[in-house]
A = this chain, B = another copy of it.
């Protein structure tokens, strides 16, 4: 049996720190458990004993007569460790520690939390919290409201994890108003033990939880999150709100929860690669949840719009098109059917405008006819108030049709009074209703996004045959000299050892060598300085391109030496690299950056001088799957350039994908690579290949040294 069942599906609960004092958590938790009619036994525990909320209180949990599955702990922080010992003595395996005063308060609290976790681990317990709002399970066999929020929970199909306690409480209120019920709720608080990942795993095969909502300020173990989430999202949607996007927000998040808020770029990549639907506001999070709660996943992206007013029909059309979904082509058969009962002034093209006077019967017939059209995957039905027609009656009529045709998503847009929505929230609905057309289009877009993700096979991480030993040798040589930055030459050698296409080159250290190399490679060539001290070569004029002849090469070399001498940069100069000049005006960039929390991230996009100005780059967490690599290339605007714009040669997409995948393998094999830049990855106008024309690699020195301090045959030969 999963120990988490003791917390989420307990047969008996001890409330340690239960209280008779009004408006305290110890009193509120007791009230909630009883009001919501917990199906198991409740044991209040308080050193003073007495009667609490009508139940006999025990002075110690070990005095409780029966078995206890879950202890909800609300005692002062200083008593928590003792309480855990007592729980262990009683044989309790499930804890929910609501008490605050741990990691979130500073170093001392963090130490206390460490001790708390050690005990939990030692005793084989699982623990929600500390510093949390509690846990809820609305299943009729359980009915546990172990939370001190204002409202009692509504029953539904959502599993909800909140990292912020107070926010969790606010959300419970809102969910109720939105007619959104949930199956289980876990306020993870400081997530000492149970975190979002624990919940994901627990809910993966829980039939009661049909969609998962996450409010997160940080992700504890990104790699594990990715593994779990990308598997679960193939079965049920996960919606996430990740706060702390801005630098200021992240700093607030860090002081708030004591957790290091990860860089948002990395979080964005991780969520995308895991198939998680990311929302940027609570409002959108709940709107989307409302849609998933009441709609099947559609078979395609063709949307039909039914309306009794042109304006909102246009607005819905705008929104549908802006999301890249299609306006369904209504079949001739459907049009003929619609014509048979709609007035002449109606439009049977999509959007289907039944005109303002449409009676309920037209709503029913039109929806029924359109739902049957094979060209239609999803439907928005719009109602604007019209004389003598009651909004709630129209809604009921739609739901009646929807009930007979559950196979396609239908969303209602009712531009009417709040009263209508209040009425709905007391009813059993089988489709989502919104006030505005754009909200409906948002919802359909999310359904479509989930469809696309579920239809897509899981990606694979390929393994190429590479010369790992050579890379080790190069890096060892570099760290032996105490350099964390490889030279351009070393960098290009590393890339070539991993099968990445780089251009022909050689190193020269004096004028004669320079000329010999140039002649051997053939003109035009490029000359680049390579230095152990200067990394941004262009900034100091260290790159000379399109050198057409021996004479020009000689002149450029002399000029470079003179300039570097003038600038006092001649010291670190190792020599110059003479390279084949790849012709092409499409400069891409790819590389690796390391996020302190999420680890190595791959980057790809438009390179050259455009990188910083246009920021047309995309990021993914390494290691990449083949699908990740494909998706990266398609998700930059410069993809159009790669396809061949204005008569340029289409790039070899598969070769570029492979470049990214080989880089991903490189950084996976050498985890201490801190930064790697190929800028430019030039698209050859002749072959369409992406060719690494320049490379820059930086390692984390201490980590690299550690990695090599072994006696194995591979790296120490």
For the complex formed, measure the closest distance between the CB of A648 and the CB atoms of chain B, giving whole angstroms: 7
Interface flag for A170 (CB, 8 Å): yes
Interface flag for A336 (CB, 8 Å): no
Q: Contacts of A249 on B, CB cut-off 8 Å?
A: 314-315, 317-318, 321
Residue in B319, B417, B438, B637 whose beta carbon sits within 8 Å of that of A173 in the complex = B417
Contact in complex: B310, A252 (CB < 8 Å): yes
Contact in complex: B638, A248 (CB < 8 Å): no
Identify the stretch in A191-199, A276-284, A367-375, A592-600 within 8 Å (CB) of chain B at 4 or more residues: A276-284
Chain B: which residue is nearest A281 at the CB level? B438
Given A315-B282, A353-B256, A538-B646, A637 contacting B609 (CB threshold 8 A)? no
Chain B: which residue is nearest A353 at the CB level? B256
Assembly stoichiometry (copies): 2
Q: Contacts of A283 on B, CB cut-off 8 Å?
A: 435-436, 438-439
Residue in B314, B318, B616 whose beta carbon sits within 8 Å of that of A256 in the complex = B314
Given A281-B315, A614-B614, A322 contacting B246 (CB threshold 8 A)? yes
Identify the stretch in A222-230, A384-392, A447-455, A479-487 within 8 Å (CB) of chain B at 4 or more residues: A384-392
Interface flag for A664 (CB, 8 Å): no
Contact in complex: B351, A252 (CB < 8 Å): yes
Contact in complex: A645, B609 (CB < 8 Å): yes
Q: Contacts of A349 on B, CB cut-off 8 Å?
A: 255
Identify the stretch in A2-10, A161-169, A494-502 within 8 Å (CB) of chain B at 4 or more residues: A161-169
Which residues of A in the span 295-320 have a Cβ within 8 Å of any Cβ on B? 308-315, 317-320
Given A309-B170, A417-B173, A646-B612, A317 contacting B246 (CB threshold 8 A)? yes
Chain B: which residue is nearest A316 at the CB level? B249
Q: Contacts of A396 on B, CB cut-off 8 Å?
A: none
> Which of A170, A386, A606 neighbours the largest number of chain B CB atoms within 10 Å of its CB?
A170
Given A217-B314, A252-B351, A609 contacting B23 (CB threshold 8 A)? no
Per-residue interface assignment for chain A, residues 237 to 260, with 1 indicating a CB less than 8 Å from any chain B CB and 0 otherwise: 000010111111100110111000
A28 to B150, CA, bound (A): 44
Contact in complex: A170, B322 (CB < 8 Å): no
Given A416-B173, A646-B538, A647-B538, A318 contacting B245 (CB threshold 8 A)? yes
For the complex formed, measure the closest distance between the CB of A421 and the CB atoms of chain B, giving whole angstroms: 8
Contact in complex: A609, B585 (CB < 8 Å): yes
Q: Contacts of A585 on B, CB cut-off 8 Å?
A: 608-609
Interface flag for A539 (CB, 8 Å): yes
A499 to B389, CA, bound (A): 66
Given A245-B322, A311-B164, A539-B646, A638 contacting B609 (CB threshold 8 A)? no
Residue in B24, B243, B257, B356 whose beta carbon sits within 8 Å of that of A318 in the complex = B243
For the complex formed, measure the closest distance between the CB of A390 and the CB atoms of chain B, giving whole angstroms: 10
Contact in complex: A384, B243 (CB < 8 Å): no
Given A150-B385, A252-B317, A167 contacting B312 (CB threshold 8 A)? yes
Contact in complex: B415, A422 (CB < 8 Å): no
A249 to B314, CA, bound (A): 5
Q: Contacts of A23 on B, CB cut-off 8 Å?
A: 387-388
A640 to B638, CA, bound (A): 18
Per-residue interface assignment for chain A, residues 132 to 158, with 1 indicating a CB less than 8 Å from any chain B CB and 0 otherwise: 000000000000000011110000000
Interface flag for A586 (CB, 8 Å): yes
Number of interface residues of A (CB under 8 A): 103
Given A171-B415, A243-B318, A538-B647, A438 contacting B613 (CB threshold 8 A)? no
A164 to B308, CA, bound (A): 12
Q: Contacts of A610 on B, CB cut-off 8 Å?
A: 641
Interface flag for A513 (CB, 8 Å): no
Q: Contacts of A534 on B, CB cut-off 8 Å?
A: none
Q: Contacts of A39 on B, CB cut-off 8 Å?
A: none
Q: Contacts of A255 on B, CB cut-off 8 Å?
A: 347, 349
Given A314-B256, A435-B174, A548-B548, A647 contacting B384 (CB threshold 8 A)? no
Contact in complex: A167, B309 (CB < 8 Å): yes
A327 to B249, CA, bound (A): 10
A310 to B247, CA, bound (A): 15
Contact in complex: A257, B167 (CB < 8 Å): no
Interface flag for A176 (CB, 8 Å): yes
Contact in complex: B327, A248 (CB < 8 Å): yes
Contact in complex: A217, B347 (CB < 8 Å): no
For the complex formed, measure the closest distance between the CB of A328 and the CB atoms of chain B, giving whole angstroms: 11
Q: Contacts of A166 on B, CB cut-off 8 Å?
A: 308-311, 356, 384, 386
> Which of A173, A536, A538 neighbours the largest number of chain B CB atoms within 10 Å of its CB?
A173
Q: Contacts of A215 on B, CB cut-off 8 Å?
A: 311
Q: Contacts of A176 on B, CB cut-off 8 Å?
A: 417
Q: Contacts of A247 on B, CB cut-off 8 Å?
A: 321
Chain B: which residue is nearest A317 at the CB level? B249
A546 to B356, CA, bound (A): 66
Residue in B327, B387, B639 whose beta carbon sits within 8 Å of that of A148 in the complex = B387
Residue in B105, B613, B646 whose beta carbon sits within 8 Å of that of A645 in the complex = B613
Per-residue interface assignment for chain A, residues 659 to 679, with 1 indicating a CB less than 8 Å from any chain B CB and 0 otherwise: 000000000000000000000
Contact in complex: A170, B415 (CB < 8 Å): yes
For the complex formed, measure the closest distance between the CB of A218 and the CB atoms of chain B, giving whole angstroms: 11
For the complex formed, measure the closest distance between the CB of A478 and the CB atoms of chain B, giving whole angstroms: 26
Interface flag for A511 (CB, 8 Å): no
A385 to B28, CA, bound (A): 14
Interface flag for A556 (CB, 8 Å): no
Contact in complex: A638, B614 (CB < 8 Å): yes
Chain B: which residue is nearest A25 at the CB level? B387
Q: Contacts of A24 on B, CB cut-off 8 Å?
A: 387
Interface flag for A574 (CB, 8 Å): no
Residue in B319, B418, B586, B637 whose beta carbon sits within 8 Å of that of A418 in the complex = B418
- Using a CB–CB cutoff of 8 Å, the interface residues on chain A facing chain B are 23-25, 28, 105, 148-151, 162-167, 169-171, 173-174, 176-177, 215, 217, 241, 243-249, 252-253, 255-257, 280-283, 308-315, 317-322, 327, 345, 347, 349, 351, 353, 356, 384-388, 415-418, 421-422, 435-439, 536, 538-539, 546, 548, 585-586, 606, 608-610, 612-616, 637-641, 645-648
Question: Can you list 8 A-B contacts with CB-CB less than 8 angstroms, sorted by A residue number?
Answer: A164-B310, A174-B415, A174-B417, A217-B311, A244-B318, A247-B321, A536-B646, A613-B640
